[in-house]
Amino acid sequence: MSALDAAVILVGGGPCGLMLASELGHRGVSTLLFDDKPATSPYPQANATQARTMEYFRRLGFAETVRSQGLPPDYPTDVAYFTRLSKHELARFALPTSSRARDLAKELSGSWSAAELPHRCSQMYIERIMHAHAERLPAVSLRYGWRVTGLAEAVDQVTVEAERVAGGERRSFAARYVVGCDGPRSLVRKQLGINYEGETVLRDFMGGRMHAIYLRSPELYRVIEAPRAWQYWAVNRERRGVLIALDGQGEFVFLTQLRREEAERTITEAMARAMFFPTLGRECEIAIINHLSWTAGLTLVAERFRQGRVLLGGDAVHLFTPTGGLGYNTAVEDAVNLAWKLQALVEGWGGAGLLASYELERQPVAKRNTLYARRFADSIGGYMPPPEIEEETPAGEAARRDAGEYLNRHARAEFNIPGITFGTRYDGSPLILSDGTAPPPDDANVYVPTATPGGRAPHLWLPEEDSLFDRFGLGFNLLRLGPAAPQADAFVRAAARRGMPLSVLELPGEEIRDLYEADLVLIRPDQIVAWRANRLPVDADALLARVSGHAGPDQGEA
């Protein structure tokens, strides 16, 4: 093996690459990240950080910083629907302010038993925080302004060709593993010859070329007389669109679908204004900061997530319609699933089955989540308001009442999704030891906390008001639960022999024993339950071999 520049090279510094850099950096894995932009994205892009993503941010220590960004702490994050934004309000789903969300997390149970609740905030702000966090980690080196132009895999390493965008300096870099987090047009995916599979659905709204207009207009808070909201949807038969509040001071992003005659390359600021005003219902002062086109209606997942030592994550392997706010969140979770596996391989305690497990575990989740997003897009994009919806007549009033009922139902389905966010499962993965119990049914709007192996460890607030998840180490965690948990020395010795990071947590309370329904529970580094039982396994070493990828398919060279 020739000298390596890092253990892992990441191509792309959007949410997937930055999260992976932070996860690897916290684990002490030397990581080199390239991104062809001079800095993080100047476009608002995604606007919702799901609760599970906030839990991932929490354990790296920046959830609070993220929660302080975006809308002011007392700004409601309601989703509201109008005929036109300055006209009739049709429906509203009230959602908490960010300061309330912090306290509410400690009060809720059932579907929302969590360390964190969602935070509605632009990806643009969050990427800056993720960048600042990754940059401070000694094991991580971020190279923005560098474009990767090619890669070649050898037996024990991958070489990446990169060029400095300003000036054209060219260099090769080598690492044991490369991850393509390089977005929808992924050079890494294309170079591996991997295609997306799935569907592109055309609809009048949220199904075709869309335009995103990032604008500043404090005056909108006077023009829109309705109570403040995070998302303002215009539902009429002339022009549909959604206006999303970014900072509560007057910055917004407006999304609308382009018409056949609106050629995206020739859209001027005047044309962008002309798209916005019909949804507002009148004209006012707006300053356009930037605008770009993108495609909605995609339900696409790559046919493979890996080839040899090269892996793919985020938009490089799955493309969504943004309904449900799942693209960026799924990208972050890919990184969380992959980071500990790369750490294990680099440190030598992981088996080659870990590489195969990444695709086995994450591809079904990508398919599931893209389908949920598509369902929400069908529900809102396929909804055609009645022709009389804007009439000031009894028929108009009745049409608005019917539309309101529909939209109220839709909003509660799309914007209350604990089942999606906490319900990711890896049943059937070779790294998971089933105990024969069946997981609860998959339901977007309902999450049933369960320690059935394969899913998120159920959350609990401990008596001192700290989160159970705050007690977990970044490696494996063995929970000894309830008053009669057996000793776990054999486990600890077996993990030490293998060099596996394992913390033992003693939690003698009955409540947590009842929640987990077992005396011993092994939690993976990504907070997924790997195994549970009431007594130690006969062969603790064999169990640890299995959960760390030394059994199952693909036992080739790692």
Ligand X SMILES: Cc1cc2nc3c(=O)[nH]c(=O)nc-3n(C[C@H](O)[C@H](O)[C@H](O)COP(=O)(O)OP(=O)(O)OC[C@H]3O[C@@H](n4cnc5c(N)ncnc54)[C@H](O)[C@@H]3O)c2cc1C
List interacting residues with ligand X (CB under 6 A): 11-17, 34-37, 45-48, 123, 147-148, 181-183, 187, 212, 294, 314-315, 322, 325-329, 331
Give me the least distance between CB of 41 and ligand X, in Å please.
Answer: 6
C-beta of 342 vs 520, nearer to ligand X = 342
C-beta of 89 vs 315, nearer to ligand X = 315
Dihedral over alpha carbons 539, 542, 547, 552 (to 10 degrees): -140
Give me the least distance between CB of 241 and ligand X, in Å please.
Answer: 13
Distance of CA 490 to the CA centre of its chain: 37
Q: How many CB atoms lie under 10 A from the CB of residue 394? A: 9
Q: Where are the alpha helices (DSSP H) in 187-326?
A: 187-191, 220-223, 269-280
Give me the least distance between CB of 426 and ligand X, in Å please.
Answer: 20
Q: Where are the alpha helices (DSSP H) in 229-283?
A: 269-280
C-beta of 21 vs 460, nearer to ligand X = 21
Spatial distance between the Cα atoms of 292 and 184, rounded to a whole number of angstroms? 15
One-letter amino acid at 475 equals: G
C-beta of 298 vs 389, nearer to ligand X = 298
Contact 271, 263 (CB under 8 A): no
Give me the least distance between CB of 512 and ligand X, in Å please.
Answer: 33
Give me the least distance between CB of 286 and ligand X, in Å please.
Answer: 18
Residue in 324, 415, 428, 334 with CA at minimum distance from that of residue 376: 324
Handedness of CA 205, 53, 105, 134 (dihedral sign): negative
C-beta of 119 vs 480, nearer to ligand X = 119
Do strands 196-200 and 158-164 pair parallel, antiparallel, or not at all (unpaired)? Answer: unpaired
Spatial distance between the Cα atoms of 219 and 250, rounded to a whole number of angstroms? 7
Give me the least distance between CB of 126 and ligand X, in Å please.
Answer: 10
Give me the least distance between CB of 351 and ligand X, in Å please.
Answer: 27
C-beta of 34 vs 476, nearer to ligand X = 34
Give me the least distance between CB of 449 and ligand X, in Å please.
Answer: 24
Hey, what are 361's tokens? 């575990």
The radius of gyration computed from the CA coordinates of the chain, to the nearest angstrom, equals: 24
C-beta of 47 vs 69, nearer to ligand X = 47
* Cβ-proximal residues to 161 (8 Å cutoff; 6+ apart), any chain: 148, 149, 150, 151, 170, 171, 172
C-beta of 125 vs 472, nearer to ligand X = 125
C-beta of 48 vs 243, nearer to ligand X = 48
Q: How many CB atoms lie under 10 A from the CB of residue 267? A: 18
Q: Kindly tell me the number of DSSP H helices and DSSP E strands found in the chain.
A: 16, 24
